[in-house]
Amino acid sequence: MKKGENLSKKIVLLTGSGHHPGTSEALADAFERGALAAGHQVVRFNAGDVPVDFLKLAADQTVLPSQDQVATTVLPQVLAAEVIVLVTPLYYFGMTAQLKAVVDRFYTYNHALKDKQCVLLATAHRGPEAFATLRSFYRQFTQYMRWESLGEVLADTVRTPAELGDWPAKAEALGRHLT
Ligand SMILES: Cc1cc2nc3c(=O)[nH]c(=O)nc-3n(C[C@H](O)[C@H](O)[C@H](O)COP(=O)(O)O)c2cc1C
């Protein structure tokens, strides 16, 4: 057994699609199944379903307060988590605006959020090359945040959950074998 394996981790799954039942949702479900089976704790927020305030700054660059669900529940969970899982369909080569609105809200806590672990789950209807920009973003973003990536599952050529093939099994295995 590798060092750290099978220790229970606090995981926050952030999804970003309003498509239900959807392909990215199915990857999130599978990852959650695997993580729960391995004894991890999982909380989940779907930015695709719940209105999220955009980050707003005052003239002096301080962040203006918000009382939405991201402020009251999600950000405290993200701060307490060991693993952040970003789950998105590809929208014009990037993550959805809904999920990005949550990520932008991390701004207040850039320093406090350092040293987390993270995972990227994504779906797209084009081939694997469609993920180039998202992968590049993920690499730079995680480096900037000082996060360690535990893996990516990028399911290409899918529009509906029925087309997912063995991608959910890969997401489940990743959730089950976090180290
Ligand atoms: C607004 C919009 C933009 C999209 N942009 C892309 C894209 O740039 N590349 C791609 O391969 N698929 C794109 N797609 C297809 C979705 O990524 C794909 O159907 C995915 O499986 C949907 O995931 P979901 O069911 O979780 O919403 C787009 C779909 C929508 C609705």
What residue's CA is closest to ligand 1, atom 7? 92
Tell me the mean pLDDT in the region 42-46.
98
When pLDDT is cut at 50, 70 and 90, the band that residue 179 belongs to is confident
Does 1 have pLDDT greater than 50? no
Residue among 92, 153, 154, 157 to mutate when testing ligand 1 (max atoms within 8 A of CB): 92
When pLDDT is cut at 50, 70 and 90, the band that residue 4 belongs to is very low
Going from the Cα of 122 to the center of ligand 1, the distance in angstroms, rounded, reads 10
Ligand 1 atom with minimal separation from the 18 CA: 27
CA–CA separation, 28 and 15 (whole Å): 7
CA–CA separation, 54 and 51 (whole Å): 9
Going from the Cα of 95 to the center of ligand 1, the distance in angstroms, rounded, reads 9
Instruction: Please write down the long-range contacts of 164-169, taking CB distance under 8 Å and 24 or more positions apart.
Output: 164/23, 164/26, 164/27, 164/123, 167/27, 167/123, 168/26, 168/27, 168/29, 168/30, 169/30
Record the pTM: 0.96
What residue's CA is closest to ligand 1, atom 2? 91
Q: Give the start-to-end residue ranges of the domains of the chain.
A: 1-52+81-92+117-179
Ligand 1 atom with minimal separation from the 126 CA: 11
User: Going by DSSP bridges, is the β-strand pair 117-123/41-46 parallel, antiparallel, or unpaired?
Assistant: unpaired
Does 13 have pLDDT greater than 60? yes
pLDDT single digits (tens) 49-108: 999 999 999 999 999 999 999 999 999 999 999 999 999 999 999 999 999 999 999 999
pLDDT single digits (tens) 101-140: 999 999 999 999 999 999 999 999 999 999 999 999 999 9
Assigned architecture for domain 1-52+81-92+117-179: 3-Layer(aba) Sandwich (3.40)
Residue among 91, 120, 131 to mutate when testing ligand 1 (max atoms within 8 A of CB): 91
